[in-house]
Structure 1
């Protein structure tokens, strides 16, 4: 009987199909190019291999290819019902819920599944990461929840390179940066062709304030990572954050133009939108000139790629784009849309969204006091939006600069001092000087 790399049975009589599936899982978990080809090879070798179809559907979903994703996961459901173990049936059912966008049900199914099959890594991956089921659950404690989940199952995985990268990053995001970084470094040492570990390590370096070290890591590693890799652009986005910290806006703009923009990016759409919008906004709020055409490009991408999305993390970034590109009529239409909850109810993060739209618009229009008034009451709630600390910090950055420019220097200085106490930052040091002017 064929098994996956974690010792779980695979319902296929083709040794070659099983090998292709195992390869595909490792490549997908490492966010390394080639997973799609591997799963399609497994399907070609065994057209009735349900888990290969389910994994292919997962990649469709990551790239927001909703039609193919739903069609492929439906095929996996049909096949696993005819030829699949109880574990495989639960595996497919859980992935299906996630692919269909039924996040709360998918999270419940995931936890139930893991209680019986804790080493099912493809299911374990669903709640983890900055874009996982926990991060997008609307829970304010999702960082701690990811850490606790990893701690619960750490003994099951031991020194597995994939699990260590997740465990390390979860600890980092939950505030245990030194421990998280050490575990992530163990993961990276076990498998260097692991973009997920490099990404997790960059987040640890961000939290440490080790941005020059992060830049060196990317420069020394990125040459082996093809630009089609899922995290290629986002890893370079981290470099752009380091450039901004040094005051090197030109390098950050070059990364946007040459790597991140929709015209050149091969990244999943959510990465393209969030990386572009947040980097352009970070540049803009520090008064670095940005060609309006760049905002128009990402605005068109947001409207066409996310026409009906109500995901708070998407809206956080659409709010930045909207502030620059939309008129008052378009903004008011967007605000009115938040008053009608989508089918199935709204996220606990939903009340934050009107404030973000109004705050970013106010900042862009130089109404800094209004911006600060919108953001002040909800600073402690921003984790509900999902994503990582590094991604959400752009909101606090906006708040701090709004305080400085509206004359609330003491409050701004208090926030900057708290950040400098956690980690060194040349950018925060420059901002700190503004509060003494």
Structure 2
């Protein structure tokens, strides 16, 4: 008997139990839902020589920041698929092997080639997409458009109501400025599959980017209790609610959410999310003129230093520099900037000079040298997109430039920037600032 995945692609296993568990595991992984690991392990137990189950488990381990275990799993998949695997499965494992072992540039190129032949291979199609996907972390300035181009090139391969494709099509559109169209797709995606944390996350983004903060907060309040705290996006989706609270000036609500869901001691999310969410939220709180709770920066500093001791990832390094600037670690900050400078010089950091420049600007801002912060940030502001992540995450850098303008009294530049932001996304905070500058 021939077994297939959810999209009709052949699975090289003789076990009905293994095929069923694999389908479940991939479905749960693609929706960022708990239970994926258990189902993939069940697939391997039912058929220890099922290469794709080992490969999917490797991908899940990589997402969970377990690189050694992920490498072992993908090497097992490589050995097995060479003995029992179709041409598609051989390519599938090869792409995942490059992604799991950190060969991101090669993984992206191989994924795109693979998708030209097997566009319905959703685990591979997921790799370039999302805020932390291969496109976002490629260093490309136009990665938002690249995601849209990719999903629209392959849209004809998927049913109009496919929950997974709606999630990533809608996300790509919303991040690229087509917010209303993207939100419609994302609402449909969550309607089609409620147990879809990636969909709920993307919908929260679309609402935020459309200026519908109240909608985002209400949606998260109604949906998040259904999502177990062990879910990798639980803390990050809560972070979106905290961001909305800050937008309307309710720092108490933002900090309550931070304490309950976001800070390292309570979040079970991916370390990249825990560090970036905590750092950017605390930075924003201080930036907007509110006191940051005593010890908060020290707590995130200890966690972040353990998880990311070395430089080498543009998005992570940007947030680590916030932590080091605010936790009283000038030597750590200067060492990281120097390490990033070296990576830029040898061409191994795709985002380029924007990362160390932003780091120096953050350091200057923390020292209240707003003139220097402006001088550093202005030239690279259009390039900040290259660090990856989402628009909501990167906005903290633009916020820093805006507040620097306001603190040196450059009302003309502050008004111009606020006008652009308000045209892009209605915001009660920006509207209040703009009104104050006009007075």
Matched residue, 2:243: 241
Contact 2:55 2:73 in 1 (8 A): yes
1:272 shift after superposition:
0.6
- What CA distance in whole angstroms lies between the structure 2 residues aligned with 1:72 and 1:381? 37
Q: 1:80 to 1:343 in 2, by over 3 A?
A: farther
Alignment of 1:222-371 (within 5 A): 222-341=224-343, 345-371=347-373
Contact 1:23 1:35 in 2 (8 A): yes
- What CA distance in whole angstroms lies between the structure 2 residues aligned with 1:131 and 1:338? 20
1:371 shift after superposition:
1.0
Matched residue, 1:157: 158
Alignment of 1:366-385 (within 5 A): 366-385=368-387
Contact 1:195 1:231 in 2 (8 A): yes
Give the one of 391, 394, 404 matched to 1:392.
394
- What CA distance in whole angstroms lies between the structure 1 residues aligned with 2:67 and 2:325? 28
Matched residue, 1:110: 111
Matched residue, 1:4: 5
Q: 1:61 to 1:344 in 2, by over 3 A?
A: farther
Q: 1:128 to 1:406 in 2, by over 3 A?
A: same
SS at match of 2:98: helix
Contact 2:321 2:336 in 1 (8 A): no
1:105 shift after superposition:
0.2
Give the one of 422, 425, 431 matched to 2:424.
422
Count of equivalent residues: 437
Matched residue, 2:220: 218
1:292 shift after superposition:
4.0
- What CA distance in whole angstroms lies between the structure 2 residues aligned with 1:132 and 1:214? 23
SS at match of 1:341: helix
- What CA distance in whole angstroms lies between the structure 1 residues aligned with 2:112 and 2:410? 46
Q: 1:344 to 1:377 in 2, by over 3 A?
A: closer
SS at match of 2:102: coil
Q: 1:56 to 1:343 in 2, by over 3 A?
A: farther
1:347 shift after superposition:
2.6
Q: Calculate the aligned-residue CA RMSD, in Å.
A: 1.4
Q: 1:389 to 1:208 in 2, by over 3 A?
A: same
Matched residue, 1:193: 195
- What CA distance in whole angstroms lies between the structure 2 residues aligned with 1:180 and 1:323? 36
- What CA distance in whole angstroms lies between the structure 2 residues aligned with 1:165 and 1:382? 25
SS at match of 2:417: helix
| TM value normalised by structure 1 | 0.97
Matched residue, 1:180: 182
1:219 shift after superposition:
1.2
1:435 shift after superposition:
2.2
Matched residue, 1:42: 43
1:195 shift after superposition:
1.1
1:14 aligns with 2:15: yes
1:138 shift after superposition:
0.3
- What CA distance in whole angstroms lies between the structure 2 residues aligned with 1:31 and 1:432? 39
1:338-390 CA distance string (max 9 Å, x none): 23228983233130122212111111121111111110001110110000100
Matched residue, 1:99: 100
Greater alpha carbon shift after TM alignment, 225-234 vs 350-359: 350-359
Matched residue, 1:148: 149
Greater alpha carbon shift after TM alignment, 333-342 vs 104-113: 333-342
- What CA distance in whole angstroms lies between the structure 2 residues aligned with 1:359 and 1:276? 19
Greater alpha carbon shift after TM alignment, 340-349 vs 373-382: 340-349
- What CA distance in whole angstroms lies between the structure 2 residues aligned with 1:297 and 1:220? 30
1:65-124 CA distance string (max 9 Å, x none): 111011111111111111111111110110010001001100010011111111000000
- What CA distance in whole angstroms lies between the structure 1 residues aligned with 2:194 and 2:15? 30
Contact 1:404 1:434 in 2 (8 A): no
Contact 1:12 1:49 in 2 (8 A): yes
Matched residue, 1:77: 78
Q: 1:220 to 1:330 in 2, by over 3 A?
A: closer
Q: 1:17 to 1:358 in 2, by over 3 A?
A: same
- What CA distance in whole angstroms lies between the structure 1 residues aligned with 2:332 and 2:132? 28
| TM value normalised by structure 2 | 0.97
- What CA distance in whole angstroms lies between the structure 2 residues aligned with 1:20 and 1:235? 28
